[in-house]
């Protein structure tokens, strides 16, 4: 019995240390499916997201439901749960090893596995109470090893949280900028409609270059720390997934062919940005175990496409006409829409449409004390003229 407990304790320690190493230290994606962290996150998300579905669906003045706010807590809370889980398993594992080698003594009391786990906890957190002490050389070695493990583990955890928060902040910068550029929620048609003046081509090319680097950073950070996929933006109508979708939609239109009075829009940068965006969508769908959903991916039916053409034409931008252009656009969409639809269903985020939402103001146009969008627009028009 003692030998079995001893071996099980060693196994728990090794598995937990390996899991924490892969989650905190290893700077690359782990493709192995059977990981403790991955199983815990998936199981907790399954229960958490389904519980949020049953909460009241009424939206507040910002368009946020109670369920949305509960889902927004999951990512940060999961970090704390993982830290507690790793520490608890290590304490239990070392306690089982201590009890397995019969290495402790309590004055006037018999040795139990509970007292061994208690000693393990005081050693792991370096409390040094001394009411339970090791009585053998093996016990002393185990105690020293556990104290070193606990100290190193806590130091790694202290260094684990700030990088995640920093990467979250870096991710949100481009997302926030899209509010004035493409609306809330953002859409490709609205982004193009808001391009004005002789420098619109240079502005669009600059956006695509910025997004190319932002997407590369997004891919690297979310593969290294998948928990970031569950971190939500400050505003509910914005998200990393809606930004990724916007970029893919915009690049698709450019690749099909856009032109204005000055001639066709260049598509070279759109090709590069589309490549990294599609790579990001595919890899994140894989790391989140969200199989592509082609049957749910038709975000642009024929009548919507024609309306999008009309809205662009109102601003002097024309999408290449004809059946060939429609087929090319459908082929491009088929490369990424099944993935982003699957991701959206998994993380419970709403995908933006292709057309602008004219009924809701941008986030910058309202505050907690001023909700009349017309006043803001009128003030801008007076300033312009």
* pTM for this prediction: 0.84
What average pLDDT values come out for the chain (385 residues) when binned by 10 residues? Answer: 80 87 69 71 89 75 74 88 90 86 59 80 79 74 85 80 84 86 88 82 89 93 88 86 94 92 88 96 91 76 87 89 90 93 92 82 69 66 50
In three-state secondary structure terms, 260 is strand
2-159 maps to CATH 1.10.287.70: yes
- The span from the CA of 204 to the CA of 24, in Å, is 37
C-alpha 280/C-alpha 122 separation (Å) is: 44
Q: Rounded CA gap, 235 and 116, in Å?
A: 49
Q: Of 285, 187, 185, whose CA–CA distance to 229 is shortest?
A: 285
Whole-number pLDDT of residue 235: 80
Annotated domain spans of the chain: 2-159, 171-379
Predicted local distance difference test score (pLDDT) of residue 173: 85
Q: What is the largest CA-CA distance in the chain?
A: 94
- Which of 92, 149, 148 shows the shortest CA–CA distance to 117? 92
Does residue 185 have a cis peptide bond before it, meaning omega lies within 30 degrees of 0?
yes
Q: Look-up: residue for tokens 């950070």? A: 221
Structural contact between residues 238 and 171, judged by C-beta atoms closer than 8 angstroms: no
pLDDT in the model for residue 331:
93
Q: Which of 270, 248, 257, 212 is nearest to 333 (CA)?
A: 248
Per-residue pLDDT, 148:
87
């Amino acid at each position: 019995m003692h030998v079995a407990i001893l071996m099980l304790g060693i196994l728990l320690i090794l598995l937990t240390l390996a899991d924490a190493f892969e989650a905190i230290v290893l700077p690359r994606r782990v493709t192995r499916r059977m990981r403790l962290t991955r199983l815990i996150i998936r199981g907790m998300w399954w229960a958490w997201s389904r519980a949020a579905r049953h909460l009241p669906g009424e939206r507040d003045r910002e368009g946020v439901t109670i369920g949305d706010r509960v889902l927004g807590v999951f990512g940060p809370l999961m970090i704390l749960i993982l830290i507690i889980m790793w520490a608890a398993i290590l304490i239990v594992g070392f306690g089982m090893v201590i009890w397995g080698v019969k290495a402790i003594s309590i004055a006037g009391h018999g040795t139990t596995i509970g007292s061994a786990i208690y000693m393990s906890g005081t050693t792991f957190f370096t409390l040094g109470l001394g009411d339970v002490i090791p009585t053998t050389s093996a016990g002393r070695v185990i105690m020293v090893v556990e104290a070193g493990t606990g100290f190193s583990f806590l130091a790694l955890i202290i260094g684990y949280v700030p990088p995640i928060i920093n990467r979250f902040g870096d991710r949100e910068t481009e997302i926030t900028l899209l509010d004035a550029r493409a609306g809330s929620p953002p859409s490709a048609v609205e982004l193009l409609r808001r391009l004005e003046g002789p420098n619109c081509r240079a502005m669009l090319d600059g956006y695509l270059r910025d997004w190319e680097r932002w997407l590369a950073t997004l891919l690297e950070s979310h593969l290294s720390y998948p928990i970031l996929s569950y971190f939500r933006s400050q505003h509910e109508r914005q998200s990393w997934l809606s930004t990724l979708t916007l970029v893919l939609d915009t690049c698709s239109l450019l690749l099909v062919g856009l032109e204005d009075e000055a001639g066709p829009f260049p598509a070279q940068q759109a090709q590069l940005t589309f490549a990294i965006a599609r790579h990001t969508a595919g890899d994140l769908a894989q790391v989140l175990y969200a199989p592509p959903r082609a049957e749910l991916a038709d975000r642009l039916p024929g009548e919507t496409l024609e309306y999008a053409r009309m809205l662009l034409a109102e601003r002097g931008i024309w999408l290449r006409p004809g059946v060939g252009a429609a087929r090319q656009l459908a082929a491009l969409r088929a490369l990424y829409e099944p993935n982003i639809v699957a991701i959206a269903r998994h993380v419970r985020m709403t995908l933006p449409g292709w057309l602008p939402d004219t009924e809701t103001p941008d986030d910058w146009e309202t505050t907690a004390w001023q909700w009349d969008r017309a006043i803001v627009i009128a003030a801008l028009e007076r300033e312009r003229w």
